[in-house]
Amino acid sequence: MRACLQLSRAVVRVRRVAAQVTTESMARNQQSSSLSSTANGDTTTAAILIIGDEILKGHTVDTNSAFLSRALRKLGVSVKRITVIPDVQEVISKEVALLSPQYTHLITSGGIGPTHDDVTFESIAMAFQEELHPHPELKRLLEEFFGVVDKDSATMKLAMVPRSAKLNYGIDAQTGQPLRYPLVSVRNVYIFPGIPSLLERAFNGLEHLFAGSGTTFHTREVFVDADEAEIAPVLTRLQAGWGRKVALGSYPDWLSNYHRVRLVLDSDSQEEVDKARAQLLDELPKGSVVPLVTDPVSIATAEVYTLANSGTPLGEKVSSALKTIETALDQYAVEEVCAGFNGGKDCTALLHLYYAALKRRYPDGKDKLKALYIRIVSPFPEMERFLQDTIKRYDLELFSVEGNIRQALGEVQERWPELRAVLMGTRRSDPYSHTLTPMCPTDPGWPEYMRVNPLLDWTYHDIWSFLRTLYVPYCILYDKGYTSLGSMDNTCRNKSLQMVDGRGVTRYKPAYQLVNDEEERNSRA
């Protein structure tokens, strides 16, 4: 009896608030719906409503809207709005009443659990002026999952849905069998869970609900090594000429070594988007368009050895370096060799060369490439981030030690006694390096190691030509005027790279544009 009274009170409360919230919204939305339908034509549209205080407070990062946007677009659905709102019934109800008539689909995420702040079902009932009721099929499923469910329990809340609710059973993509628990929908509102793994599984099993619009979106990307301000007039003029046939988006990228702007062309016509791309390429500054090499590591062996056999001056340097590395691998087992790596440009080139040689010799090898990192005091945060990215990129086994080089090698000898040879990114122009040979043992009194120096005869410009020819990622500080990196205490931008741009702003050119090799170490205090 008490449960019935509670349910009756809930229904009265729903109706009372709904009457205040939705009467005005529904009238306004009926008018906007017809306008929206005319504007959108035959395109299937969607709005995404992310529900949760935890998103707004920064306790949880929203990944659901990104997943849904990508997935819907593949199905020919154009996402027109994404809104994030708190777990408040009146707010949710008002948004549902506002958005539902305007778009083909409204997808909600979050707020359908058993706790006090899970109020999405109640809110959607309020939006459509419906009452909640215990759905018999949901109740049966809850009993299968949890055993006998008391009608007053928190679990029972999962079965309390709006009266017109429909249950949609998806198909498990892995097994081909129906999913055990359905997705609830009310009219054109699809009510997804907030947990990303559950949402993605449910959506993937129910793609057929959103597919079939007949629309296919075509996207083309162009990567540009130029300032966005420099190409903005071209973009503005082209977009004005294309009108609504093609959409052009411009997105600066501050972390790429090889492009500064990503341009994205979108259209529902392949012919139009291809025509627009060709026009864009023709209008952009000559030489500014660059390729996107997303994974230079996986193609390292093929690219490095192709360069080595190219017959060019750089190719000859690469060939010589590879022979030194291969000689070391002839004399030492893989587990006895590591590459010195501190995140600098020389070590980055060395690491890429060593990786290419190792994979060529042992294409099916499972051993990780070993790298020795001698950590300095006050490292740049950008260098630390690059180090972590490199560990992932090359799947490194990193040996990290501190102190000067002699102390560090002593610690390495104690902790990893199997190591016998260290590949180093030393060049003959480095301090105290003019007498070194490609293979030379450490000096008397030092921990005994074979120093392998594949880059001894490389110049500053050789290093940059190698990295940039093969699109190898390097520390972003080199694009900000630094030419030789140490700690934050002894490193500064190189004055030789300082310039004043057309707007009168003092800037620094990237390291690879340094003209005089002898000025490389001007970055060091």
- At residue 24, the pLDDT reads 37
- At residue 11, the pLDDT reads 34
What Å distances lie between residue 479 and 226, 513, 514, 519, CA to CA?
13, 10, 11, 16
Residue-by-residue pLDDT tens, the chain, 525 positions: 333 334 334 333 333 333 333 333 333 343 333 333 333 456 899 999 999 999 999 999 999 999 999 999 999 999 999 999 999 999 999 999 999 999 999 999 999 989 988 999 999 999 999 999 999 999 999 888 877 777 778 888 899 999 999 999 999 888 888 898 999 999 999 999 999 999 999 999 999 999 866 688 999 999 999 999 999 999 999 999 999 999 999 999 999 999 999 999 999 999 999 999 999 999 999 999 999 999 999 999 999 999 999 999 999 999 999 999 999 999 999 999 999 999 999 999 999 999 999 999 999 988 899 999 999 889 999 999 999 999 999 999 999 998 888 898 999 999 999 999 999 999 998 888 888 999 999 999 999 999 999 999 999 999 999 999 999 999 999 999 999 999 999 999 999 999 998 888 899 999 999 999 999 998 887
Task: Tell me which amino acid residue 254 is.
Answer: W
Helices (H), 380-419: 381-394, 405-415
Distance (Å, whole) CA 261 – CA 395: 28
- At residue 299, the pLDDT reads 97
Distance (Å, whole) CA 375 – CA 379: 8
Rg of the chain, C-alpha, whole Å: 31
Distance (Å, whole) CA 202 – CA 183: 7
Distance (Å, whole) CA 15 – CA 128: 9
Distance (Å, whole) CA 310 – CA 296: 18
For the chain, what's the residue count? 525
Distance (Å, whole) CA 303 – CA 430: 28
Distance (Å, whole) CA 274 – CA 173: 34
- At residue 213, the pLDDT reads 63
Is beta strand 189-192 parallel, antiparallel or unpaired with respect to 183-186? Answer: antiparallel
Q: Is 51 helix (H, G, I), strand (E, B) or coil?
A: strand
Around 512, how many Cα atoms within 13 Å sit in the side-chain half-sphere?
17
Taking alpha carbons only, the member of 184, 193, 72 closest to residue 133 is: 184
Residues 6+ apart with CB under 8 A from 522: 483, 484, 494, 495, 496
Give residue for tokens 């630094």.
482
Q: Report residue 359 CA to chain centroid gap.
A: 27
